Amino acid sequence: MKTLTVAVRSAPFTAVALVPLALALLVTASTPARSQAPADSARGFTFALIGDLGYFPHEEPWVDNVLADLNRDASLAFVAHVGDLSSPRYSCTNEMLARRLAQLRASVHPLVYTPGDNDWTDCHEPAVMGGDPLERLANLRVVFFDGDRTLGRRTFALARQSEDATFLRYRENVRWDLGGVTFLTVHVTGSNNGRGRTPEGDVEYAERTQANLVWLQRGFVHARARDGRAIMVLQHANLFPEFPPFPGTPQDPSGYTDLRAQIEKEAAAFGKPVVLVHGDSHFFRIDKPLSPRRVRGSAVAPILENFTRVETFGSPYHHWVHVTVDASDPNVFTFRPRLVAANIHRPP
């Protein structure tokens, strides 16, 4: 692996035949999971961020290379996947879900996953023969969010929003604590968060958004009660369309307005480092999008210097982001892109 210090942008791709599932399933079936809670160390810890990988079958070896690279790093406390298991043509199928589940369960490290739009929201696209997004969402919840622990060969316990009887459906929204940091996932996807396509989809969007707002608010309450040093929110969607590049034209009404306002409000009240991690745009970047700069056609953003946005690599670039948490660092987090040597695109 190598270290990169600049952002990179993804490009279009083409489809190829799907690779077999048998080997990945066999590995997972023969390797029992072990429970292991993450150690709360005052000396800090490291973890990894991935997402938006393996959009087409010819990229499958690159996905394997990323997962193997992560497994070789024995220092990682966990891995977080921020959604999009493949492109809709493949991730909307039971075959691809089975393949990805086997791969994620085979992770040496505990692994947390939150859904992306390709995993259900976009399953209506013609390329997937008009699948039903809501049926795919229900299936995804059954397949990926069983039990109360992470995926991976080592696991640790998660608090799920579904522990509250009011939010039984939202098993994918989880929270955990490590080294004074509170982590939580919120189910926010690309493609305008599923809003604006069908009446049924709008009902689902409204109910899920309400659950997400409650989960965000409770996460910050939880972190303050623990006198936490920082909080990290992980989701799929890019909430900042005013900063190009962005996947598609922002829609009106937006599927992100309430969530963005809630994050801004909570980050301002928290005062300590807040990081939002997402995928969606396939553009590796670390920035401060909540700044007082004026963008034509939008309101002036608040000054929130404690807020940082991190976007993971995305197809066709297959790499990962290494994160260090250091108790002695007032910024708490250090982010370092990790290039997988076998996946580096070389000019002809």
Task: Write down the mean pLDDT value for the chain.
Answer: 87
Q: For 238-262, write each residue's pLDDT tens digit.
A: 999 878 777 666 778 999 999 999 9
Q: For 49-60, write each residue's pLDDT tens digit.
A: 999 999 999 999
Span 165-172, mean pLDDT? Answer: 98
Q: For 94-107, write each residue's pLDDT tens digit.
A: 999 999 999 999 99
Estimate to the nearest angstrom the gap between the alpha carbon of 6 and the chain centroid: 21
Question: How high is the pLDDT of residue 149?
Answer: 98
Cα gap 217→213, rounded to integer Å:
6
Question: How high is the pLDDT of residue 299?
Answer: 61
C-beta atoms surrounding 77 within 10 Å: 20
**Residues forming a β-bridge with 154:** 34
Domain spans of the chain, in order of start: 40-343
In the predicted model, is pLDDT for residue 33 greater than 70?
A: no
> What is the CATH number assigned to the segment(s) 40-343?
3.60.21.10
Dihedral of CA atoms 234, 292, 335, 279 in degrees, nearest 10, equals 40
Q: For 112-145, write each residue's pLDDT tens digit.
A: 999 999 999 999 977 776 689 999 999 999 999 9
In the predicted model, is pLDDT for residue 19 greater than 60?
A: no
Residue 294 banded pLDDT, cuts 50, 70, 90: low
Minimum mean pLDDT among 121-130, 188-197, 280-289, 307-316: which range? 121-130
What pTM does this model have? 0.87
Distances (CA, A) of 258 to 91, 213, 224: 28, 8, 22
Minimum mean pLDDT among 19-33, 63-77, 123-137, 191-205: which range? 19-33
Residue 298 banded pLDDT, cuts 50, 70, 90: low
Dihedral of CA atoms 344, 26, 85, 60 in degrees, nearest 10, equals 30
* DSSP strands (E only) in the chain: 2-3, 34-35, 45-50, 76-81, 111-113, 154-155, 159-160, 174-178, 181-185, 230-234, 274-278, 285-287, 307-311, 320-325, 333-339
**Residues forming a β-bridge with 182:** 177, 231
Span 257-269, mean pLDDT? Answer: 95
Q: Are 136 and 92 in contact, with CB atoms under 8 Å apart?
A: yes
Cα gap 82→182, rounded to integer Å:
16
Cα gap 224→97, rounded to integer Å:
37
Residue 295 banded pLDDT, cuts 50, 70, 90: low
Question: How high is the pLDDT of residue 18?
Answer: 36
Structure tokens at 208: 């899920």
* DSSP strands (E only) in 29-120: 34-35, 45-50, 76-81, 111-113
Structure tokens at 131: 């699948």
